[in-house]
Chain A
Amino acid sequence: MRRVVFSLATFIALAVVSFVGVDALPGDGCTALLGRFGTNAKIDACRRENNLNDSVVVRLKDWSGDLVRGDLGYSIKRDEQVSEIIIPRLRNTAVMAAVAALIAFPSAIVVGLLLGRYPRKRISKAVNQFSVIAMTLPEFVIATVLWLVLSIWIPIFPGVSVMPSNASLLQLLPNVWLPALTLAVVIFAHSMRTMRASVTNVQNMPFVESARLRGTNERKMISRHIVPAALPPVVNVVALDGAWLLTGTFVTEAAFNFQGLGRLAIDAISDRDTALILPIILFGLAVYLVSSILADSLVRVFDPRLRSNNR
C-alpha cells in the first residue's frame, strides 16, 4: 500500500516536471500549426484563441483539472481531441506488444532453462551465440533483415503497414507480425540470457544438491526446485521489457510505418505538439510505475522469503 502511494506521488511530481519541461521548449501548438510561413499576427491570434498566453501556472492548473476529469486535451495542429488520436494508436501498440510478448517471453523462459540445464550441447552454444548477436544489433537492422527475408525473399508478411490508425483488428493483425517479431528478437535475447544465468546460478545452490541426493527425478527437479527459484530475477527483467514494449517502440514503428504510439510520439515531438506529447509521456510513466509494482508483487509470490518478513 505504501508502495502505491509513493508511486502515485512520483507520478504527480513527474507529471508537473514534464508539463513545465515541455512548456519550456521553444514553439507551441500554434507555431506547429502555422509552420514556416506563420506570421506573427497569425500566431498571436491563434495563441489568444487557445489561451496559450496565460502563465504556466494557470495553464498547468487548467490542464491538470481537465486531466482529473478524464479530458486529455485538444491538439491544435490536428484539430482533434487528444483521446481520439491516442486511443486507437495505443490499441495498435498494445496488440503489437502483446504479440511480441507472447512470442518472446514463454520461449525465452523455456530456451533459457534448457540452455542453463544443458550448457554443453552444441545447439545450446549456437543459440547462445545467436542471442548475443540479437542483443547487439540495433532494432532497425533487425527490422530490415526481417523485412528482406519475410517480405521480399519469402513474401509471407506485408512489408510495411499501410493501414489507417483506426483499422479493424482484422486489418491490423497482418501488419503486426513484422514489428512484433523485431521487438520479440530484442526482448527474447535479453530475457532468455537472464533466465539462463539464473538457472545456472540456482543449479549450484545447496538445496538443489540436497534434492538430487534425495533422488528427485529430472522433471520434478526442474518444476519444483529450479524454475521457482530461478524466476524472480527473470520476472523483473520481463516487467522492464514489457514496459519497454509499450513505450520504447519508436524505431520499430517508424521502420514499418506502424500506426502506433511510438510513431505518434516522434511526430508529436517533431511537430512540437505539446498537447499530444504530454499524455504520451504520462502514459509511459504510468506503465513503468505499474509494471515495477506488478513485478515486485509477483516476485513475492515466487519467493516465500520476501513474503514472510512482510516488508
Chain B
Amino acid sequence: MNKIQKFFVSFLAFGLIAGGLASCGRTSSASGVLRVGNDAGFGGAETMDPYDGNRTWPTINMVFDRLIGVDKDFSPIPELALSWSSNDDLTEWTLELREGVKFHDGSEFDADDVVYSIERMIDPEFDSPILAVLGVISSVTAVSKYEVLLSLSTGEADFPLLLADYRALMTPVDSQSTIGKNPIGTGPFKMETFDPAGTTVLLANEDYFFGQPKLERIEVITFADSQSAAQALAGDQVDLLLAIDGKSSAMFGDEAKFTLQNIPSGDWNAIDFRVDQEPFGDARVRKALRIAADRQVIADTVLGVGGGVVACDTPVWSADPYRWDGDCAKDTEGAKALLAEAGYPNGIDIDIYTSDVEVHMVELVTAYKDQVKDAGIRVTIKMADASGFWDDVWMKESAFVDSWGQRPATQVLNEVYRSTASWNPTGQVDKDLDKMLDEARSTKDQAERAKKYAQIQERLFENSAIFLPYHKTLTRAMSSKVKGVEPIVIDAVRWEKISVS
C-alpha cells in the first residue's frame, strides 16, 4: 500500500469512527410517544391563544376542546356541550354543558368560561379571525352553572357547525394574558414545553372526559419546509405528517412501513376577477372565463391525478351536506359566442397575477392559460413577489390567484361571497345573492335549506367572478406504527384515540 492509499484508508476510518460516535446520539422512538411534524406557519410568531391570528395548529386542538365537534360526515356532535336547541326563528340557542369537566390546573369548567371565551372571540377590539365565523353572535349569557344562552343577530340554522370551528375552543376565565405561552385547557393533552420553532412537548391528560389518552406524550416538531419533513418521516424521526405534498407520496410507497391516507378536504384555489375592472364587469365575459376550461384537466395537472375533486365554482366541498354538483364541462364554442356577444369577437387579453406564496398557485394559472387559449382568451401570467402577495396583489389587481381553507357552507358563502364581506375578493355586489343567503340560513327545515343552498351555488356558477376549479385532496402520511388515525378530515380526528405500537 503506498502513501496515498494509506491516507485514503485512514480518512475512511476517521469517517466511520465519527459516524459511530454520531449514531450514539440518534433518537429512538419510544412507544407511547407520537412525533408529529408541523410546518413553520407563522415563522416564530405562533401562539397557543386559539383566537389569535397566529394560533398554532394542530397543537391548539390537543390542548383545548370545542363546545361542539363534528363527526366524519360533518354533522355536529357533543364535545363540551352535551346538547343544544334553538327558538323557532333560529336566533337564540341554548346549550347544556357537560358537568364535572376539569381544566388542566384542576379548576372546574362551567358557563362562566364559555361566556369569557365567546366574548373574547367576538370582541371587535381584539378582532379575532374567528369573528368572521362567529360574528353572528350578539350576546352570550350564563343561565345557570351548566347552561348558556347565545343570541344571534340573524337566524342561523347551521350555528352548531359554526361552533365546531377548530378555533372555537374553550379557555378558562381571565386567561388572555397567559394563554399564548402557558395554555390551560380541558383537552386530551397538557402543555409541557411550548417551542413553536423547535419541539413542543405535550403530556397526556389522564382525567380527560372522553377517557384517558392512549399516548403518553406528543411531540410537535417544526420543519422549515415540506421536503425536510418528508425526509424526517422516511428516516423514522417523526411518525405523522398531517399533509404532505402529493409529489412526495412516492417516498412512502412501502406499505409495511408507512400508511398513506387520501382525504378530500374543503381547501380550494381559485382565480378571482375584479368586477370593477374591465372586462370582468360583464357577466357574459365571466361565464366565458369559466366555461372555457376543463376543470378535471386543471385539477389533474396542478394537484396530480386523484389529487383533487372538481368543483363548478362552488366553495362548498364534496363532503358538505349542502354541496351542489352541476355540469361545468368545457365549452369552447359557448365561451367564444359569449365573448362575441359581449363585444369581444376577437377574444380578450388578460393579465393574471400569481406568486409562489403557496404551492399550486403558479401551476393553476399556467394550466388555466393553456386551457382557455382555444376560446380566444389570451392570458399573460404576472409573477408577484411572494412576501408582498397578500398585501399588494390580493384583492387589488384585476385578476389574481386565491387560496382558502375548509369552511362549512354557510360560513364560506357569507365570508367570501356576500357583497358586504370584508374579504369579498372580487368586489362583486349581488343584492339578490345576499337575500338568498339570508333566507337559506334562516330556514329551519333541513331539506328546504339544502334546496336553497343548491340554488345559491347554481347562481354562483352563472354569475360570480371567482373561477373555482377544485377542492384539494390532502395526503396524510404516517408510520405504520401509528394506530387510530381515521382516514377522515382532521377536525374529526380524536387525538386521545391515537396510539403508537
Contact = CB atoms under 8 A, between A and B. Distances in A.
Nearest to A181: B15
Interface stretch (B57-65, B139-147, B227-235, B441-449): B227-235
B224 A263 contact: yes
B224 A39 contact: no
B19 A150 contact: yes
Contact of B232 (A80, A110, A159, A170): A159
A167 B391 CA distance: 36
B23 A160 contact: no
Interface stretch (A29-37, A52-60, A65-73, A238-246): A29-37
A273 B43 contact: yes
A27 B22 contact: no
B24 interface: yes
Contacts of B391: 26-27, 31
B175 interface: no
B195 A158 contact: no
B405 to A, nearest CB: 11
A26 B388 contact: yes
B329 to A, nearest CB: 34
Interface string A96-138: 0000000000010011001000100101100000000000000
Interface string A7-37: 0000000000000000000110001111111
B228 to A, nearest CB: 4
A152 B235 CA distance: 6
B18 A163 contact: no
Contacts of B44: 75, 77-78, 80, 85, 267, 271
Interface string B14-26: 0000111011111
B127 A270 contact: no
B22 A156 contact: yes
Given A77-B45, A118-B4, A156 B19 contact: yes
Interface stretch (A194-202, A207-215, A251-259, A295-303): A251-259
B235 A33 contact: no
Contacts of A63: none
Contact of A35 (B54, B197, B234, B422): B54
Interface in A130-186: 147, 150-152, 155-160, 162-167, 170-171, 173-174, 177
Interface stretch (B5-13, B105-113, B316-324, B340-348): B5-13
B225 A267 contact: no
A159 to B, nearest CB: 3
A73 to B, nearest CB: 15
The bracket for how many chain B residues form the interface is: 35 or more
B231 A147 contact: yes
Q: By CB atoms of chain B within 10 A, which of A114, A156, A269, A271 has the most?
A: A156
Contacts of B227: 255
A173 to B, nearest CB: 6
Given A37-B129, A114-B7, A267 B388 contact: no
Contact of A177 (B19, B234, B422): B19
A130 B221 CA distance: 37
A257 B40 CA distance: 11
Contacts of A171: 25
A49 interface: no
A184 B283 CA distance: 61
A50 to B, nearest CB: 14
Contacts of A270: 43, 386-387
B238 interface: yes
A268 B221 CA distance: 20
A37 B388 contact: no
A283 to B, nearest CB: 18
Contacts of B210: none
A173 B224 contact: no
Nearest to B390: A36
Contacts of B231: 147, 151, 159-160
Contact of A160 (B25, B26, B197, B232): B232
Interface in B383-397: 386-388, 390-392, 394
18 contacts: A31-B391, A32-B43, A35-B53, A39-B127, A78-B43, A114-B4, A123-B5, A156-B20, A156-B22, A157-B23, A159-B234, A160-B237, A163-B199, A174-B22, A177-B19, A267-B40, A270-B387, A271-B45
Given A158-B25, A170-B25, A174-B22, 7 more contacts: A38-B53, A78-B45, A162-B199, A162-B238, A164-B198, A174-B25, A253-B224
The 4 closest A-B pairs by CB, nearest first: A164-B198, A159-B235, A174-B25, A257-B228
